[in-house]
Amino acid sequence: MDTVNKVIDESKQGEAYQLETTSTENGKKLFLESYGCQMNFSDSEIVASILLDKGFTTTQNYEEADVIFVNTCAIRENAEQKVRNRLNDFKRVKQKNPKAVVGVLGCMAERLKAQFLEQEKLVDIVVGPDAYRDLPNLIEEAEDGRKAINVILSKEETYADLTPVRLGGNGVTAFISITRGCDNMCSFCVVPFTRGRERSRDPETIVKEARELFEQGYREVTLLGQNVDSYLWCGGGLKKEILTEEQKANAVTFAQLLEKVALVNPDLRVRFSTSHPKDMTDEVLYTMAKYENICNYIHLPVQSGNSRVLDLMNRGYSREWYLDRMAAIRRIIPDCGISTDVITGFCTETEEEHQETLSLMELVQYDFAYMFMYSERPKTLAERKYKDDIPEEIKKRRLTEVVDLQQKHSAIRTKAAVGKVHRVLVEGTSKKSEDMLMGRNSQNTVVVFPKEQFKKGDYVNVLVNSCTSTTLIGKAI
């Protein structure tokens, strides 16, 4: 999260994982690399769970792997190009080892299945986000020389019964998926087409996973969903649109789920991502205020500060609605850290409408922001209905203005935390000094301080006495 106040216009760098061998080893090695959002990294943990159960071991060297998977992101064009380049690396490995199996998982897999398998012949396996249980069978098909594909989207799959294998983490923080898919249909977004309709996971399995993580030494969980605020568990896979009023009254809401996870243990911090302005209720905010271990941090994407543009984006709220939600957050959780997403240069955006985004940023003064130029994505409503008519140089200039303003606000918000005591969960050693530890406070700001006798997983009260534009620096008290 310490990179969010600079321009993020590509997916995260690929991350490969290695685990200790299992007792049921079958001699085959898996190389698994992930790109994109937190949900993709969480999905990779599900994939690892399925394949390690079949005797695979993991490796960080793709040249020695029998099976190579890349878990992909389709949110932006740059992310897709990066994955294509990576697949060419893997293709060279396959030339040396014809028996190696190369596969694409996730959002790009669903969107570009024909190109990958037939036109470009870069891969042997294409698997969508809802078909990971089928991976052992698909690997066998590919090993027999057949092209293996399963990109069928499910209305029920949540992988709730699987225990994810924690990959490449710090042993302190972990993700828990609470929903899959999305029903919002924002006009710029491909997620509903690559991940399918929204479905919520049984709350008892979520609580169980949180409890097990705490028992394993983890001290923070982040509840993940494309829109966590619309979480609603009604039992038996029932859909929201067919519920009776009585069933709705007895359903588990996101606020109630938050409380259930917070009650696992007061020393288990709880975060969540991502929220949606149209669905965030005061009930969620009051639940956050009630429990100290629910972090005072909300990521609430605004995308634009202009109501007309928001309507074109099919976001479901206006500028005024968003500012009302901001006012509620400030009223109920006064010290809440807030971050956002901003898109510049969306179809037909005028200079005056861009200025409204800047003015909204001035009103809110976010701690962090993810900032992007609009990038047209295939299959979306915007691609079908609107012309991408803002010249690239104007998009870039508007993005620069957004970034410059956010850097100013980030510095203001960080400086305001100096002179205060912050409860910090230690995540590890600082990248810049072996003598310093790093962690985050409740507001999700990075804090560094001298190591002394403290270790990873400890909670430490730190008096902050200085800062950079994004990091707090202090001493344990």
Query: In order along the chain (477 residues), what is the average pLDDT of each group of 10 residues?
Result: 32 50 66 84 90 91 91 71 82 83 84 65 86 94 88 87 83 94 93 88 96 97 96 71 70 96 98 96 98 98 98 98 98 98 98 98 97 91 96 98 98 97 97 95 98 96 96 97
Provide CB contacts within 8 A for 451, sequence distance 6+.
429, 434, 435, 436, 437
**Cα(127)–Cα(109) distance, integer angstroms:** 6
Q: What are the structural domains, with CATH classification, of the chain?
A: 15-150 (3.40.50.2300), 173-415 (3.80.30.20), 421-476 (2.40.50)
CA distances from 20 to 46, 59, 139, 431 (A): 17, 9, 22, 25
Give a three-class secondary structure readout of the chain.
CCCCCCCCCCCCCCEECCCCCCCCCCCCEEEEEECCCHHHHHHHHHHHHHHHCCCCEECCCHHHCCEEEEEECCCCHHHHHHHHHHHHHHHHHHHHCCCCEEEEEEHHHHHCHHHHHHHCCCCCEEECCCCHHHHHHHHHHHHCCCCEEECCCCCCCCCCCCCCCCCCCCCCEEEEECEECCCCCCCCCCHHHHHCCCEECCHHHHHHHHHHHHHCCCCEEEEECCCHHHCEECCCCCCHHHCCHHHHHHCEEHHHHHHHHHCCCCCCEEEEECCCCCCCCHHHHHHHHHCCCECCEEECCCECCCHHHHHHCCCCCCHHHHHHHHHHHHHHCCCCEEEEEEEECCCCCCHHHHHHHHHHHHHHCCCEEEEEECCCCCCCHHHHHCCCCCCHHHHHHHHHHHHHHHHHHHHHHHHCCCCCEEEEEEEEECCCCCCEEEEECCCCCEEEEECCCCCCCCEEEEEEEEECCCEEEEEEC
pLDDT of residue 5: 32
CA distances from 326 to 112, 214, 282, 308, 410 (A): 39, 32, 11, 19, 17
CA distances from 389 to 314, 377, 383, 395 (A): 18, 14, 11, 10
pLDDT of residue 249: 72
pLDDT of residue 276: 97
**Cα(457)–Cα(113) distance, integer angstroms:** 42
First-to-last CA distance in the chain? 25
Residue 241: how many CA atoms within 13 Å on its side-chain side?
4
pLDDT of residue 1: 32
**Cα(476)–Cα(457) distance, integer angstroms:** 15
pLDDT of residue 21: 40
**Cα(37)–Cα(12) distance, integer angstroms:** 7
pLDDT of residue 7: 33
Residue with tokens 């394949």: 51
pLDDT of residue 114: 65
pLDDT of residue 116: 67
Yes or no: say if 214 and 176 are a contact pair by the CB < 8 Å rule.
Answer: no
